[in-house]
């Protein structure tokens, strides 16, 4: 994603220099893409019949996870962290499933719009609490994890509700060719449409500035308060889209949060976003999610004990991050 922005901004300088700069800026993301490509080749070797159906399944299962990763990236870039993402997804999912149940397709458009606004609002609540109470992000969002999860159970105490057909159809099936799942197109489109304008705006710059050094940002005239609240609103918005994706792919709303918060942090770390804020992009975590999901699938093909697979996933995560930090340290020296 940084690549796209970079290309647009610097299209006037010499193409070769631009390319060099792009590669240098996005080493981590490009590295992840290489890993993903290798993994796809490995998957094809392990399971020769792996084809369009497998890619489709992968895209659908990645969708909610990737949106959670995007949400977490929004918070972490501004030196925050949001542990309530899974709960926000559960809340927005049950609200949408309950409202769309037995309603017309047209009404569902209103529901989707309403749920997106709900995401912005609950994100704003998280952000406002962090900023105005001055309680650390991790504590506030940990508390809000329970608040939003409880709210989800109040809306729907057991899995249920429904999804509009057009919403479900958006995530299913291929587009143009069997090899291009609609879910993947949807994911890229949604993330790009939201993130690119923000990244290129003053606000995007403020997020990185606050994330790098809040004091310096403040002294340069950036409103830290506003920026942080906005980053949490963005996290809420992505969570709401993730919640809608859950409703769309399963056809129901589930009030008990899934493993999305933990997965989002893992993806952010693996995706090259510094937990200390201010460094990284949104596409790294998204690719990281695909890698983690594909690893799971490969473990299934190899019939590795699921518990072992979980251990392996953690070890890979630690390993990649350690190698990454080593590269970073050497470069800085």
Report phi then psi at 251, rounded to 5: 80, 5
Element (H, E) at 175: strand 174-175
Instruction: Point out which residues bind another protein (CB under 8 A).
Output: 47, 49-50, 53-54, 56-58, 60-61, 64, 81, 83, 136, 138, 142, 157-159, 168, 172, 246, 249-252, 254, 256-259, 261-262, 265, 275-276, 293, 296-297, 300-301, 303, 305-307, 310
Nearer to another protein, 14 or 307 (CB): 307
* 189, two tokens: 């489109």
Nearer to another protein, 275 or 315 (CB): 275
* 61, two tokens: 């299962």
Nearer to another protein, 34 or 305 (CB): 305
Could you tell me the CA-to-CA distances from 93 to 79, 118, 156, 273 in Å, in that order?
Answer: 27, 11, 10, 27
Nearest distance, CB of residue 81 and another protein, angstroms: 6
Nearest distance, CB of residue 99 and another protein, angstroms: 17
Nearest-angstrom CA–CA distance, 37 and 42: 9
Nearer to another protein, 177 or 307 (CB): 307
Nearest-angstrom CA–CA distance, 67 and 72: 9
78 and 317 Cβ atoms separated by less than 8 Å: no
Nearest distance, CB of residue 303 and another protein, angstroms: 5
Nearest distance, CB of residue 16 and another protein, angstroms: 36
Which letter does DSSP use for residue 272 in this model?
A: T
Nearest distance, CB of residue 308 and another protein, angstroms: 11
Nearer to another protein, 31 or 160 (CB): 160
3 state SS of 253: strand
């Amino acid at each position: 994603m940084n690549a796209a922005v970079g290309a647009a901004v610097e299209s006037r300088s010499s193409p070769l220099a631009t390319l060099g700069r792009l590669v240098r800026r996005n080493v981590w993301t490009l590295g992840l893409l290489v890993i993903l490509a290798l993994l796809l080749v490995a998957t094809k070797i392990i399971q020769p019949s792996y084809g369009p159906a497998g890619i489709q399944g992968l895209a659908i299962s990645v969708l909610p996870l990737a949106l959670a990763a995007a949400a977490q990236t929004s918070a972490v870039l501004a030196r925050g962290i949001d542990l309530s993402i899974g709960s926000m997804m559960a809340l927005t999912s049950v609200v949408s499933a309950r409202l769309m149940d037995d309603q017309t397709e047209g009404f569902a458009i209103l529901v989707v719009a309403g749920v997106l606004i709900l995401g912005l609002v609950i994100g704003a609540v998280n952000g406002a609490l962090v900023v105005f109470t001055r309680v650390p992000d991790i504590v506030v969002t940990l508390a809000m994890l329970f608040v939003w999860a409880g709210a989800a159970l109040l809306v729907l105490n057991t899995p249920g509700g429904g999804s509009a057909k057009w919403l479900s159809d958006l995530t299913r099936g291929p587009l143009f060719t069997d090899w291009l799942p609609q879910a993947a197109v949807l994911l890229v489109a949604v993330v790009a449409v939201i993130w690119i304008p923000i990244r290129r705006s003053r606000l995007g710059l403020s997020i990185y500035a606050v994330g790098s050094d809040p004091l310096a940002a403040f002294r340069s005239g950036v409103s830290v308060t506003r920026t942080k609240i906005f980053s949490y609103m963005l996290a809420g918005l992505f969570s709401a889209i993730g919640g809608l994706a859950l409703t769309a792919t399963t056809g129901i709303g589930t009030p008990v949060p899934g493993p999305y918060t933990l997965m989002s942090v893992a993806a952010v770390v693996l995706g090259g976003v510094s937990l200390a804020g201010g460094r990284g992009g949104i596409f790294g975590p998204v690719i990281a999610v695909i890698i983690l999901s594909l690893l799971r699938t490969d473990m299934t093909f190899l019939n590795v004990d699921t518990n072992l697979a979980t251990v392996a996933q953690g070890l890979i995560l630690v390993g990649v991050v350690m190698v990454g930090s080593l590269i970073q340290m050497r470069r800085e020296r």
